[in-house]
Structure 1
Amino acid sequence: MNLDSALSPEKRLEEKESLLKELQTRLDELDHPLERSSNDSEPEVRKSRAAVIAPEPLHENLEITQTRVKKTISETSLIVKSIQKNDFLSRLDDEQITMMVELLVSIEKNPGESVIVEGSEGESMYIVAALTKVRLWCIERQTYRTIMTNKSKKKREQMIGFLKTARTLKDLSDVQLSKIIDSMEEVKFQNKEVIVREGTEGNTFYIILKGEVQVTKNVNGNQREIRKMGKGEHFGELALIRSSNVFEDTAVPDKRSQKTSMRLKDLVPVLYQEGRYQGDPVTLGVGGFGRVELVTTLHHGKYYALKRISKTHIVAKRQEAHVKFEKRILMEIQCDFIVRLHAAFKDTRYVYMVMEFCSGGELWTKLKEIGRFDEPIAVFCTACVVDFGFAKELVRGDKTYSFLGTPEYMPPEIIQNQGHDFSADFWSLGILVYELLVGSPPFSSSEPQKIYAKILDGVIKFPPYLGEGAKSLISKLCRWFSSINWHKLRVGQVEAPTVKLIRKGPCYINFDRFPHDKTQAEEEKSGWDDDF
């Protein structure tokens, strides 16, 4: 007799519901493999590489020319509530939310029409205003970024103006004032709250950004008002005199690389010697902008990594200036810790960069193979790393507002379009240290928006096996590198602990394998690469 047929219909239904719940739980775990409960001590090693966000150009003249759209009280309320319920947008300030509300435009979609197609590059953000025949509030990405960036740039310029009115600071340069601003934080005080009491030693400098400060003096036991201070005024200058640390600019030496006689036609592809891709050209890596292939000279004298990028893709993504800048700066830099650019070429379909071939393979591949690195290897790799994916030349004190990078590695100031500088690299370095030691970055999710919300929350959970030095470095970028002799590292006299990760075999053995791509990019003849 079938056991299932002997059960009552109610019992069978309960068992099926229980099975469905279990399957749903497993499905959720597959969809969000990196989101673990707070009781789990070890984060899961991620199995796929994170996508990189390219630095989309933002016009220097950040003017919003879009017409403001009038909205009813109920429409405004709906939009504000939607923003406040969003993990990421809820962190905007009142001024930014007001700008967004004013600039959202209403669009309508009929049943069956697509709003966003999966896999397409989104240009706008939508808030659903109705169901069935859909009405949505829409704002373009560039408009949103301009709102965020404008606020930060204007606030910074305003702060520099305020600082210049302080007697103690009036002779400092904009670069030095900018460093002071970077050291300041915004603090809110409630009405009637005491900021500084008369007679106490002042150790803080204040600038009033909003509201009024009442200054009182004790006269015969009573607090008598002396004056009121408002926006832009400041107090506590003596604190700056007691402790001042403004660094001077340092000159960066200009290095030029030697010209090469290499020709593109002299380079031939290296072929896989075995495996399922035997006889096909070796592909070292595949990215959003092209492929990197292993090539050698006609006489097999030396191996090179040939980076090939589609020109039509560059133009479509508005990356012409970025690609030209990458080529120029790589040609100028001569550093043993940065992969070298030997030559650059172009044709009607592609631009090519002939790079130094590093036979040890990609750091990511080795991390994926063994799960996580022990501390000596992580220390060595981090000490050698230079983060050069999307570089930008900055004068000390300047800020850039490019939105770029790998979501898991982005610092809060990039996410919030506040403007960033060299300190963004320190944040990313801390994330790298964590991922090398743990196998997964500290802020992870299958959805970028959730990653950004976690980064802004800033809560890092450390597995129990991490050493105190590593925890301290990741949290504060402290003295984790005490075991590194920087001079020996610089001149190549350190025995690399990574040698034990390297497998022996063909020159491509340490790289992932990729199928050969026989398709050709379309021709692109706009002329942006005339001087490439």
Structure 2
Amino acid sequence: MYNQNSMGNGTVRTPRREDSCLSSRRREHSSGAFTKLQETVLLLEEELKQKWKELQEKDDKIKQLEKELEVKSVQIDKLQDAIGYNNIQLSPKGSQKKKLLSVINQGPILHNEKAPEVHRRQKAKEGVSAEPTSRNYYSPSSQNPDVTCIRKDSSAKKLITGAIMNNDFLRQLEASHVRRMVDCMYERVYSQSQLVIQEGAAGNHLYVLAEGLLDVIQNSRLLGQMHPGTAFGELAILYNCKRTATVKAVTDSKIWVLDRQVFQNIMMSSAQAQHQEYFSFLRSVSLLKDLPEEKLSKIVDCLEVDFYDKGDYIIREGEEGNTFFIIAKGKVSVTQAVEGSQEPQQIKTLGIGDYFGEKALISEDVRSANIIAEEDDTQCLVIDRDTFNQMVGTYQELQTYLREYVFQLALNDHDRRNARKKSLHHSISRDNSEVNQLRELVSRFSSTSPFRYLDVITTLGTGGFGRVELVKLKDEDMTFALKCIKKKHIVDTHQQEHVYWEKNILQQINCPFIIRLYRTFRDAKYVYMLLEVCLGGELWSILRDTGSFEEGIARFCIGCVLEAFDYLHNRGIVYRDLKPENLLLDSEGYIKMVDFGFAKKIGPGKKTWTFCGTPEYVAPEIIMNRGHDFGADYWSLGILIYELLTGSPPFSGTDPIKIYNMVLKGIEKVDFPHRIGRRSEDLIRRLCRAKKKNRNGNLSLHFSEKICNFN
């Protein structure tokens, strides 16, 4: 028998039953606890996933609300612009800085508790202009203006660049232009309480605050403050304008400055250099070398730049093509299938100034070789056959319908139409004879004493320039309009050249759709222009009173304007100030174009650079100082059609910079009202395309047809 003492001798004790049960219960308890822990972990993981999902949904909701807030802010801005009401104190915090900066460029801010109920059409639009530029033509001999670069460290360049890129208007400039602007800005130091900008003073500079703090004050009221890294005063580098707020240094401040003339020189010289380079490329192409200069210049304006990386196929052998290429940067290899070889063999390498695909410009072309980019960032200038044909062809289609339309005036009877045409032709011939007789008569008057020969009947209108009087010849019932322009106003606004151009151009013009100038006078205070009188009133006044025109009336107005454009453009004259305010009605109800202060003779294939026009009507190329030509007039024609049909231009507001930003965003962003028909909308969008090549190209092929279907 085993006894308890035997355990010390290595004997094994048999476990008791109660010990075995206890161990089992412990294992079961441990297993249950682990299972419960696993379930808890799984539950927590599921809850975590749910919380994460909810968090993501909330993030998405926040983003959606931010977008909605941004849209609402834009809508609020538009509504405030529409009623001419901007109040910094009521604006959202995020847009307060933009509102503050816009004060320097726009009219006084209204601080009334209630916005005045004034419709925009109650106030006529005003034209603006920079100083005329003396160098307006592309010429191989023209010298680039002297633009001085100022040394800066990298931190200063970074600050200026950042300020420019944070400005809604300036950020739309090309990177190369921004770099040159940064290089040319010079430093000014302002002591505490010193004025940077004086309210009411003429503006001529763009500023970037580098160090310090500035107050913005209007009508002795503090509107806010500006901190380092802020660009302001950008409107002044476009044209002459009065500052509408005071900017004063709160602390000693350092500011980077750019003059308007330097900015304009940067824009003009770079565009001219690029134009001349592209022109030289085209002149080297045997197919194009005999084309007239104005045709080549038009083609230059239509060239697009395509970019390729190393190994990219520009064209492939055997494909059909309609595009012509000129290499502007990099190199390409030319390969061709060779009998007996599985792979195409390299024939030659082409570099800058070389071209290929020229046959595609005159007929359907099957590519005879592969063209492959050999370097990254290879650049080619390209133009397709349709665009080429439009530019090299004539623009006769532009006037065909409109001549007929203006003569016919929608008369239904064929015989009456013919009679009307004969009558109108006879009337025009008679008018020309009368104009010459009147010019001969008034040429005998002294050039310094107009009122010796004229009696004033009444004042027709007044403005910043002076006034317009209704006058008659003494002892005769022959009436005229006498435009009296203050010499001081001409000098103060640097418009001497514009006045000279207006006189010179109007003296050469004899068109039934353009106001006639009979004689000019001058005395110690005024320059006088004796003009044809149009007592039918301003088209703008009629539009303001009626709200909008039916398409038939708008169509007639546009027909008259296009007759005037045809006359001017055929003589190399660009008008640049189309708007209802500059269209008068004569006694027979025909439209006459007036106010030629911005008109200029540039010649075919040339460009001019002066910023001038009315903000709501200026074309993108004028805003961006790229040089402009007759295409700017066609842009304004599209804006005019829109305003005649709706009562307001598509781009409008109280702040010119905001208007320019809308113009640069494009007509594509404009929602057309239902009252504008589909054909009218299509015509407006074609005329207001940002790229001039598309604008002009559509004119040559489709313009007459679109006008015919205007209703």
Q: TM-score, normalised by structure 2?
A: 0.57
- Counterpart Cα distance in 2 of 1:115 and 1:361: 44
CA offset at residue 32 of structure 1?
5.2
- Counterpart Cα distance in 2 of 1:108 and 1:156: 39
User: Residues 29-428 of structure 1: matches in 2 within 5 Å?
Assistant: 29-30=79-80, 33=83, 46-60=121-135, 63-132=144-213, 133-217=252-336, 220=341, 222=343, 225-242=346-363, 243=385, 245=389, 246-247=392-393, 257=436, 258-261=439-442, 263-271=450-458, 282-286=459-463, 288-299=464-475, 301-385=477-561, 386=564, 387=578, 388-428=596-636
Give the stretch that moved more between structures: 131-140 or 110-119.
110-119
Counterpart contact for 2:186–2:258, Cα < 8 Å: yes
Counterpart contact for 1:152–1:419, Cα < 8 Å: yes
Counterpart contact for 2:331–2:351, Cα < 8 Å: yes
Deviations 1:126-182 (A, max 9, x none): 111123222111010010000001011111111111111112122223222112223
CA offset at residue 249 of structure 1?
11
Counterpart contact for 2:468–2:482, Cα < 8 Å: yes
- Counterpart Cα distance in 1 of 2:523 and 2:122: 36
Counterpart contact for 2:453–2:473, Cα < 8 Å: yes
Which secondary structure state, in structure 1, belongs to the residue aligned with residue 306 of structure 2? Answer: coil
Counterpart contact for 1:211–1:230, Cα < 8 Å: yes
Give structure 1 stretches of 5+ with no counterpart. Answer: 1-24, 37-43, 272-281, 485-532
**Change beyond 3 A, Cα 1:355–1:329:** same
Query: What amino acid does structure 2 have at the position aligned with 1:104?
Result: M
Candidates 676, 688, 691, aligned match of 1:466? 676
Deviations 1:225-257 (A, max 9, x none): 54443332222111123256324799xxx9994
Counterpart contact for 1:249–1:396, Cα < 8 Å: no
- Counterpart Cα distance in 1 of 2:497 and 2:268: 21
Greater gyration radius: 2
CA offset at residue 361 of structure 1?
1.1
Correspondence for 1:500: none
User: Residues 417-496 of structure 1: matches in 2 within 5 Å?
Assistant: 417-458=625-666, 459=668, 460-477=670-687, 478=703, 479-482=705-708
- Counterpart Cα distance in 2 of 1:138 and 1:395: 36
CA offset at residue 457 of structure 1?
1.7
CA offset at residue 66 of structure 1?
4.6
Deviations 1:12-43 (A, max 9, x none): xxxxxxxxxxxxx989844553799xxxxxxx
Count the aligned residue pairs. 441
Q: Counting strand residues as a fraction of each chain, which structure ranks higher?
A: 2
- Counterpart Cα distance in 1 of 2:350 and 2:160: 36
Query: What amino acid does structure 2 have at the position aligned with 1:302?
Result: M
**Change beyond 3 A, Cα 1:109–1:441:** same
Give structure 2 stretches of 5+ with no counterpart. Answer: 1-74, 87-118, 136-141, 214-251, 364-384, 397-431, 565-577, 579-595, 688-702
**Change beyond 3 A, Cα 1:391–1:194:** same
Counterpart contact for 1:62–1:146, Cα < 8 Å: no
- Counterpart Cα distance in 2 of 1:270 and 1:196: 73
**Change beyond 3 A, Cα 1:32–1:162:** same
**Change beyond 3 A, Cα 1:230–1:457:** farther
**Change beyond 3 A, Cα 1:198–1:357:** same
CA offset at residue 318 of structure 1?
2.9
CA offset at residue 433 of structure 1?
0.7
Query: What amino acid does structure 2 have at the position aligned with 1:394?
Result: I
Which secondary structure state, in structure 2, belongs to the residue aligned with residue 68 of structure 1? Answer: coil
Deviations 1:23-75 (A, max 9, x none): xx989844553799xxxxxxx75432222122522242664435311111111
Say which structure, 1 or 2, has more relative contact order (CA 8 Å, 6+ apart).
1
Query: What amino acid does structure 1 have at the position aligned with 2:173?
Result: L
Query: What amino acid does structure 2 have at the position aligned with 1:328?
Result: N
Deviations 1:297-349 (A, max 9, x none): 33461332211111222233332232122112212211111111122111111
Counterpart contact for 1:260–1:342, Cα < 8 Å: no
Deviations 1:420-451 (A, max 9, x none): 22121111111111111111111223222222
Q: 4+ residue runs of structure 1 moved beyond 6 angstroms? A: 25-28
Q: TM-score, normalised by structure 1?
A: 0.76
Counterpart contact for 1:45–1:438, Cα < 8 Å: no
